[in-house]
Amino acid sequence: MRHSGGIEMTDHIAGLRISHVVQPIARPVSDAKVATGRQVPLAAVDMVFAEITDEDGTTGTGFTYTLRAGGTALQALAEEIAPMVIGARGADVQRIWEMLGWRTNSLGACGAAFHVLAAFDTALWDLKARRAKLPLAQLLGSFRDGVRVYNSGGQYLQASIDEMSQAARDSVARGIGGIKMKVGQPDWREDIRRIEAVRDAIGPDVALMIDANQQWSRAEALAFCRRVDGMGLEFIEEPLDARDHAGHGALAAQLVTPVATGEMLASYDEHAALIAAGGARVLQADCPRIGGVTPMLRVMELARSQRVALAPHFVMEQHLPLVAAFPTEGWVEHFDWLEPLFNERLEIRDGRMWVPDRPGFGLTMSDTAREHTKRSVTLRDSPEGGD
């Protein structure tokens, strides 16, 4: 225990555990990057969890993730820098983020380094909220208790029209508020048929989005997007190379339908460049990819100031409280892939996902997460002992 300004500070970090968890996906999925041979189907999600415990015995749980490659590398880097966190004051989240950012600066202020920072940063925000006995959304200052939720799970390119339509109907029946489907078939007319079929399945009042996963050239994107611009889509996602900010800006200026992108960007600075180019009317920042809640809050403030909407990519588990604390209505993206890793479930009804009334993110690692752990390292006084 140390004293600061008359307040007893008992939040110094006493121990932490870093775990590499590989969560398989029951049915491997394909998007346009697979269709064009650039990627292999996605069969698992690699997670690196950080569980950070302070001197009071309160534990915050955070995580980062990667797809297809890099899980072992993220774990190794996390283990290497983890000793820096021991003894730091848990509430000083920004200071710790800067400290870890400088230590990994030679790797580039983005990419794998920031992925790893996210595991620590999200754990520290969870810890801070748990100490305050508040859900993270309320610690940040929430605007709403429930966030609009859409589903992507049944709408991959390998699904038939019947499979997609049934999956979309099932999603709506369970309370999902929007359906996002993959596009980028070799024949664009097939994409149009599939969009019309899913619209028929869900009716006129459920939001429908499409995602091209960087499939098109600038000319192809403009041609396709003009064809669908009058179809009432909620947004058109990643029509171009994810780093083509100027191309996204030029395309977005020619469409009524909002262009959504940003999921592949790996730092605040990359999001700032995209927004400056007018490339996104819906920003799809990904908290683990850009370094955690600390940079995400800066991205959110930039989006607010530029009147850009927020629909973060993947990991609803982290994005739900963040979108709840964003001034205008956004979206969270529903995937059930990570559910087995947690003891708790996020409630969905009436088209929304509801912020849990538990402190922090409101999630703890499950026995399944322990079973799927490839490697785990514990430093100092972690409550459950060694490896």
Give the interface with Mg ion as residue ranges (CB under 5 A).
211
76: phi > 0 → left, psi -120 to 50 → alpha, else beta; which?
alpha
Tell me if 261 sits within 8 A of 271, measured CB to CB: no
Asked if 308 contacts 283 with a C-beta cutoff of 8 angstroms, the reply is yes
Tell me how far, at minimum, the Cβ of 34 lies from Mg ion, in Å. 13
- Clarify whether 313 is annotated catalytic: yes
Calpha distance 288→115 (Å, rounded): 6
Nearer to Mg ion (CB atom), residue 20 or residue 289: 289
Residue placing its CB nearer to Mg ion in the complex, 137 or 255: 255
Shortest CB 263 distance to Mg ion, Å: 5
Q: Which residues are CB-neighbours of 34 under 8 A, at least 6 positions away?
A: 40, 41, 157
Where do we find the tokens 């969270």?
A: 332
Catalytic-residue membership of 182: yes
Q: Which residue is nearest to Mg ion (CB)?
A: 211
Report the nearest approach of Mg ion to the CB of residue 289 (Å): 12
Annotated catalytic residue, options 20, 182, 248, 372: 182
Contact 23, 340 (CB under 8 A): yes
CA of 366: how far to CAs of 14, 292, 340, 373, in Å? Answer: 23, 22, 7, 11
By beta-carbon proximity to Mg ion, the closer residue of 14 and 208 is 208
Query: Are the CB atoms for 280 and 302 separated by under 8 Å?
Result: no
Q: Cβ closer to Mg ion: 211 or 234?
A: 211
Beta strands 207-211; 42-54: pairing state = unpaired
Looking at beta carbons only, is 312 or 360 nearer to Mg ion? 312
Task: Give the active site residue among 33, 180, 271, 313.
Answer: 313
Q: How far is the CB of 235 from Mg ion (least distance, A)?
A: 11
Return the closest-CA partner of residue 207 out of 312, 332, 327, 316. 332
Question: Which residues are catalytic, by number?
Answer: 182, 313
